[in-house]
Amino acid sequence: MATLVCFHAHPDDESIATGGVMAAAAEAGHRVVLVVATKGEHGEVEEGFLDDGETLGERRVRETHASAEVLGCAAVHFLGYVDSGMMGTPENDLDGSFWRADVEEAAQRLAAILRDESCDVLTVYDSNGNYGHPDHIQVHRVGVRAAELAGVTRVFEATVNQDHIRDGLRQAKDRGEWMEGMPDPDADDLGLGVPASQITHGVDVTRWIDRKRASMRAHASQIAEQSFFLAMPDDQFAMAFGTEWFTERGVPLPVESFGTSILD
């Protein structure tokens, strides 16, 4: 059995990007470890949602542990940095901001966890952090360097398949099932992920789709029942999130066909 470590920027990122792979790996008997760079302190939360005296970071830590239990994680680690907010916001420059962290120092922190957990496979994000979020970009930089330091040779960049998203959005539009907040499928730049030609693995996680969605639901401070993620009908949700996409570092591109597991 292998140890899979999934490195994410904020609480709830694990649910969206790798929740299915994590649940599948745990069910197969692999050790699954979640590492989160920040507590998501600067997320948005509705007034009155938090308990008296409770901070958003404290709530999101509890939500992360609840999500991890749903997904079957054996351990959860927080790297100790502060949420950097969106690109270009004042939070980027706060003390302890992950975006401003020294990559080598942060990589040393992560590498120590990878060694302690005997990591065999590591997931990070693509070089643009899937959609340009500063903390996601930093996950890529720090994760890649940490793998080098810890001697982890199998590193997978979790990403978004632009071609798959375009097809799904066009089908939804044609069926009249357009939802507010959906990007325009005909836009030159969706601002998400990479083309299919840059992806090595498409992992079918529909068998674990209910657990993936339950993991999202555990992050109630950020993913409300009326949100895009949870308001979507089951069939649309499965189409949008039933495959998780990865690019294995070091594999020549393009590939002839997608791999179906990152733990083979």
> Which pTM value belongs to this model?
0.93
Q: What is the pLDDT of residue 129?
A: 95
Domain 3-248, second-level architecture: 3-Layer(aba) Sandwich (3.40)
Q: What does the DSSP assignment read for 21-39?
A: HHHHHHHTT-EEEEEEEE-
**What is the residue extent of each domain of the chain?**
3-248
Distance CA 111, CA 248 (A): 19
Distance CA 124, CA 236 (A): 26
Predicted confidence pLDDT, tens digits, the chain (264 residues)? 899 999 999 999 999 999 999 999 999 999 999 999 999 999 999 888 999 999 999 999 999 999 999 999 999 999 999 999 899 998 898 889 999 999 999 999 999 999 999 999 999 999 999 999 999 999 999 999 999 999 999 999 999 998 887 877 777 676 766 655 566 656 556 678 899 999 999 999 999 999 999 999 999 999 988 887 888 888 888 888 999 999 999 999 999 999 999 998
β partners of residue 4: 32, 121
Q: What is the pLDDT of residue 264?
A: 84
Q: What is the pLDDT of residue 205?
A: 98
Q: What is the pLDDT of residue 180?
A: 58
Containing H/E element for 170?
helix 162-174
Residue 87 CA: distances (Å) to CA of 57, 126, 170? 20, 16, 29
